[in-house]
Structure 1
Amino acid sequence: MTGPGPAGAARIRVSWRAAFFALAGLAILAGVGWALLGSRLLVVRSITVTGTRLVTPAQVLAAADVPLGTPLLRVDTAQVARRVEAIRQVASATVSKDWPDHLVIAIRERVPVVAVRLAGGGYDLVDATGVIVRWTKSAPAGLPLFLTSLPGGALRGDPALAQASAVLAELPSWLAKSVAELAVTGTAGGSGGSGGSGAQDQVTLYLRDATTVVWGGTDRAGEKARELAVLMRGTASYYDVSAPGTVVTR
């Protein structure tokens, strides 16, 4: 009996070579999978939290709920971010993997823009969206009081607060730091009071020196600021700059 010919031997060598490379590939894939998911090499060994001031890193870590030793590949960063954002004082969170064994959680906290006086005492400090950032017993220095009939807990999504916050954001610094209180009128369904369309909203500023400024809406902010700066060189205590070019003073 004779052995396989040259062509048959070549085919056998090719088959063995293909099988060898296939097995080697499977071994490599198994090794990578084990390294990523099963070994202790690529697991979460440390977590860094940045951006905290109102909340503590411990609060963020508790909300993130990523135990040390979790394979880094299994960490769903979007899901972790959502859990952290459930903390009331957190506006947004970004979670990133720092291979081979580190996780970074960067948060942006909510910033209060106004204070709301409570009927039972104290003040809710709320951000521009109406979320209560914190409570304080006494009136906070440097934060204007928002005049509203609603408690702080009912201001989330309130159009009057949104209007007031937008106006505060556009005021020149010399005016913004002088605002002691502000109110909004003409907001349909909002806390401003008198009803009407959003285009009729009027934001009124009450300054620390007892001066009243009817600012109006967020339109033509630059013109209003320039006209007001000139007019306030006089002795009036009331300024209506809601319609630049036709300012009313008294």
Structure 2
Amino acid sequence: MDLMPLVLQVGDCVTGWGEIRTDDDGVWFVVVHAVPLMFRGDGPPAPRPVDAVRLLHHVPSAVATDFRDDGSIPGWATVTGIWLDGVIDVLEQTPVPPASARRTFGPRWVTPPGPKPVGGWPRGSAEDLYKVDTQALREDENCVSAIVYRPHSNRAVMVVAATDVGMAESMWRPVLGRRVLIVQSQWSKGQLAAVRDELVENWDDWTIGLVSEVVDEHSQTRVEALILRVMPAMAAWARAVPDGILQIHPTLRPDLQA
């Protein structure tokens, strides 16, 4: 995968949404990967993290003061400016988050990603499927994910994504009958673990804030990472990473519309 276009160069126009903090040493743009549910108010300021980015020509009036339906968070702002290698010279600032930063909900596991059995999906509750030996599913190296889909209020289907569909059929069809759908997984557990482990190993150097695995509506698993910005070393490593196995969410990125 190609992350080089996201590597910030001195002089680039950059944009990002995050918390604005002020201390005795200046004004800072801080990435908070867990969105707060409550405003800190007048309590003691949180310590400035080491990856905070200094802001020049910050606009104090262009910082959100309350929670709003547009996604605004007290103390946060969207800044756009010139990247000066660890410093942003602010050109524009607004309390409103960009559309890309507004909260989105995860996948909706409703329609199973495969054909129905003859006669359709049998009746049964999701609770019945949760009684299956999920520990065995997790420990099965061939089974990459096992997700319960709900195509109808009185029907639930276990969708197992496996690297070897035939092996999964022989193991789980006798247990779940017509209430299981086996699909081909694009990636193996080992491939996903290799990507995840590399990110964790370079956590600080690559400005990573969160790494997780996400299963989409097609029961395909990918690794996702929330980061401050794409570092050159990460982009160099990513050249050998297959497209689709990893999704990166950088808070600071080049403003391609500038």
Using the size of structure 2 for normalisation, the TM-score is: 0.19
Bigger CA radius of gyration: 1
Q: Using CA pairs below 8 Å that are at least 6 residues apart, which structure has the higher relative contact order? A: 2
Query: TM-score normalised to the size of structure 1?
Result: 0.20
Higher helix share: 1
